[in-house]
Amino acid sequence: MASAAEQLASNLSLASFSKATELKKRLWFTLGALVLFRLLSFVPIPGIDPRALANLFQTQQGGVLDFFNTFSGGSLSRMSIIALGVMPYITASIVVQLGASLYEPWKVLKKEGETGRKKLNQYTRYLTVLLTSVQGYFIAVGLEGWAATKGISAVVEPGMLFRMAATISLVGGTLFLMWIGEQITSRGIGNGVSLIIMAGIVASMPQHLAQLFEGGRTGTLDPLLVFGIVIGVVGLVLFICFMERAQRRVLIQYPKRQTARGMMQQERSHLPLKINTAGVIPPIFASSLLLMPLTVLQFAGGGATPDSSSSEWLITLSTYLQHGAPLYLALYAGGIIFFCFFYTAVQFNSEETAENLKRHGGFIPGIRPGKATEQYFDYLLNRITVIGAAYLTTICLIPEIALSQAGVPFYLGGTSLLIVVNVTMDTVSQIQSHLIAHQYGDLIKKAKLKGARRH
């Protein structure tokens, strides 16, 4: 069966793609949804002066705002209705998933199958509305307060009406993006939320690359440094591709069975365990938990009046937690490591896998079926996840530390490259799976037609 699948995969061509009508519909739907996402990033919230906002945002360049603006595809700098992106939804998903692992009533819901999953998704949506409302309100207040500290008013008519309109607009934009992401996952190709994040990063790439090459042309950056960054990016992409395909193959044996010729044959197969089982989820989750509170803090700190009692500690906290600061990097690394182990445990159920092997008569050589097999899987996963967590932490932090030490304002670091490469590989593999399934369907139809003709 595996050899047939490999043969079909090798025979994939443009001809087979042109015949896969369902796949083309899914791809067109995904492309249309991403185009809609990009169009929405240019729709500002009510009561904003775009020119004043652009001047105001230039005074806040650097740090968390630029990094988050890269993730949102420039939506934050334009203060569009989707300025918060899908980060509140991701944060809500983290809280609900943690609750489903720790809170007993939610544990019961998680075990109820599809009904429980729908209930937990409903809780995630409610929490998304709450988080977006709080963050949107503080951003609106911060925009009003910046007029006092920066001398530039991006708000046409400050007041409660503007705050309510901005908050409602941001909540509606985030919920609409959440809905688009769910529709892409069910009716398109790939994971919708990950594709939206990737689309925002890819949209920011030309601008950052142009700034990098312009710096090398004008002499503000050393041309050798620019060349080194380009080589480093290519090397990072190759390293990410290698690590994402790396896996530990566990040998599985089945009892001897009699073949058609009367011979006894023992079946063998392999259970692949990816080195990075959690995929791109840990950096996204860790970024979400850090970026959204820090963005609100940046707006609140920027909008605080100099004589206010809260301004001093807000500015101090923003300094310690700014993008690239040691405390920020430590918290980011800790978040990546935690979510690597947490999401791996969510994705791979050792008890269920061991039980399925035992039910079908499979076993690992030298390991007793049942509890011993479960413990062996846990042992393997813990060792593999250590390597995966070290890989993700290195990819996400080392390039950013190196670029910040070199004084390069280049925000497409390891995290952005990891998300783009990982999501692209996952989407391409899903396209290949659809093509293979389509070719299998054609082969089955041909076999049925030949059988009908013989009869």
pLDDT in tens, 246-295: 988 888 888 766 655 555 556 778 888 889 888 888 988 888 888 777 77
Among residues 71, 44, 310, which one has the least CA distance to residue 194? 71
Give yes or no for residue 445 having a pLDDT over 80: no
Split at pLDDT 50, 70, 90, the class of 175 is very high
Query: Is-contact 30 184, C-beta < 8 A?
Result: yes
Residues 6+ apart with CB under 8 A from 436: 5, 8, 9, 12
Tokens of 405: 């030490």
Quick one: average pLDDT of 36-55? 86
| pLDDT of 265 | 58
Token pair recorded at residue 260: 């058609």
> How many angstroms separate the CA atoms of 11 and 347, rounded?
31
Q: Does 73 score more than 80 pLDDT?
A: no
pLDDT for position 128:
93
C-alpha separations of 207 from 31, 204, 400 in Å: 22, 6, 18
Decide if pLDDT at 56 tops 80.
Answer: no
Do 55 and 180 contact (CB within 8 A), yes or no? no
Q: What is the pLDDT of residue 143?
A: 80
Structure tokens, 231: 């080589």
Cα(312)–Cα(305) distance, rounded to whole angstroms? 10
> Where does the pLDDT of residue 329 fall: very low under 50, low under 70, confident under 90, or very high at 90 and above?
confident
Q: Residue 11: pLDDT above 80?
A: no
Reported confidence tier of residue 314, pLDDT bands at 50, 70, 90: low
Q: What's the confidence (pLDDT) of residue 6?
A: 47
The Cα–Cα gap between 13 and 22 comes to 16
Contact 236, 416 (CB under 8 A): no
**To the nearest 5 percent, what fractions of the chain are helix, strand and coil?**
75, 5, 20
> 28, 2, 7: which is closest to 431 by C-alpha?
28
**Which range, 80-89, 359-368, 442-451, is most confident?**
80-89
Query: Which CATH code, of 3.20.20.70, 1.10.10.1100, 3.40.50.410, 1.10.3370.10, is assigned to 2-445?
Result: 1.10.3370.10
Categorize the per-residue pLDDT at 17 as very low, low, confident or very high, splitting at 50, 70 and 90. low
Over the stretch 362-411, which tens digit does the pLDDT of each residue have?
Answer: 888 888 888 888 899 889 999 999 999 999 999 988 877 776 676 665 56
Nearest to 29 by CA among 194, 175, 180, 193: 180
Helices (runs of H) and strands (runs of E) counted in the chain: 18, 2
Strands 247-258 and 264-274, by their bridges, are antiparallel
3-class DSSP assignment, residue 328: helix
**Token digits of residue 166:** 């901005």
Half-sphere exposure of 358 (CA within 13 A, CB side): 14
Integer angstrom CA distances of residue 393 from 234, 280, 338 = 18, 11, 11
pTM: 0.81
Q: Which amino acid is at 73?
A: G
Backbone Cα Rg of the chain: 26
Q: What percent of the chain clears pLDDT 70, i.e. is strictly above it?
A: 78
Tokens of 298: 């940046």
d(CA 445, CA 442): 5
Q: Which of 57-71, 89-103, 176-190, 363-377 has the lowest mean pLDDT?
A: 57-71
pLDDT at 1 over 60: no
Tell me how far apart the alpha carbons of residues 101 and 124 are, in angstroms, rounded to a whole number: 15
The phi, psi pair for 255, rounded to 5°, reads: -60, 155
The C-alpha atoms of residue 161 and residue 153 are separated, in whole angstroms, by 16
Please, which residues have CB within 8 angstroms of residue 416's CB and are 6 or more apart in sequence?
70, 71, 201
Q: What is the mean pLDDT of the chain?
A: 80
User: Torsions phi, psi of 190, nearest 5?
Assistant: 90, 180
Confidence bin at 164 (pLDDT 50/70/90): very high
